[in-house]
Amino acid sequence: MWPSVRAAGARVGSPSVGPRAVVFDWGGTLTPFHTIDLADLWAVAARILAPERATELTAALLEAERESWERVTRHAGMASGTLDDLLARATELSGVAFEAAVRDEALEAHLEAWTPHTLTDPEAAPLLRALRERGVRTGLLSNTHWPREWHERILARDGVLDLIDVRVYTSELRHTKPHAEAFRAVLAPLGVEPADAVMVGDRPFDDISGAQAVGMRTVLLPNDIVPSAPVTPDATIRRLSELLPILDGWRDPPHEIRTPGYPPRSEEGGAPRFRGDPGDGR
């Protein structure tokens, strides 16, 4: 059973007007979390890259991606990576070479195979619009090997690209979450200090611990698959539509803002339940 919505108190030195920016993770946050067979998704590319050795190449691509994410965890986001990095490592592991001419076709097929798992949460667009109406800037910070073009195509497809003010993909950075530089890469163009921003994500290690380390407030949107971490978010929600009441609780003085067509719900169908007084320190 999901826990009730929990809101923690404002941090010392936080602005009385409440958060000025909200930064979202992408996969598992703006998109619902899916359990995915990565072997099937990489096999689509491998069959185009090296039809006669597709099984070997699929295994190598899986291992290359596993190694990459393991480094993120082991070294706290010290090194990012790209799809070309994964392809190069898979070739090194398997000894399977492929023609550069088929690279784009293979990767396009790989992205197409991801399509059912990239659909934006229906609650994302109403939330992003509501934040914009309130004058709160929005950002996206995604740990990814994918190029910007792929992500932005997906966001445009689902009508949310222009609703996000700043979009940052770690495939373009030297670091990934939870490294501080990844968070600074989105906060700087948003024009806000960490204390004025909130990070919303589904990963306690990457999203929550990293954001807290630079001084951001944090909201966890948990699922049953992502590993836990010894970190306590400032708030926990079960769905995106529960975020606005959390932000309202961090305003001083707290007040209620009702957004037409945007009713948050609790387990019983009413307004979210809060544990603790928004004025309590943390």
Domain annotation covers residue 198 = yes
Cα three-residue angle 216-156-46, rounded to 5 degrees: 95
Q: What whole-number distance in Å separates Cα of residue 28 and Cα of residue 226?
A: 9
Angle between helix axes 83-94 and 54-74 (nearest 10 degrees) is 120
Widest distance between CA atoms in the chain: 66
Using the 3D structure, point to which of 101, 116, 131 is the last residue of a domain.
Answer: 116
Domain annotation covers residue 193 = yes
| Residues comprising the chain, all counted | 282
One-letter amino acid for residue 166 of the chain: V
Q: Are residues 228 and 124 in the same domain?
A: yes
Q: Are residues 143 and 236 in the same domain?
A: yes
Q: What is the pLDDT along the chain (282 residues), one digit of tens a residue?
A: 233 333 343 343 444 468 999 999 999 999 987 778 899 999 999 999 999 999 999 999 999 999 998 988 887 767 889 999 999 999 999 999 888 889 999 999 999 999 988 999 999 999 999 999 999 999 999 999 999 999 999 999 999 999 999 999 999 999 999 999 999 999 999 999 999 999 999 999 999 999 999 999 999 999 888 878 889 999 999 999 999 999 999 985 444 433 333 333 333 333 332 222 223 332
Q: Residue 91 is part of which domain span?
A: 38-116
Residues linked to residue 235 through DSSP beta bridges, in sequence order: 7, 219
Domain annotation covers residue 257 = no
Residue showing tokens 């495939």: 171
pTM score, whole prediction: 0.81
Total number of domains constituting the chain? 2
Q: Are residues 80 and 111 in the same domain?
A: yes
CATH of the domain at 19: 3.40.50.1000
The DSSP code sequence of 125-173 is: HHHHHHHHHTT-EEEEEE--SS-HHHHHHHHHHTT-GGG-SEEEEGGGS
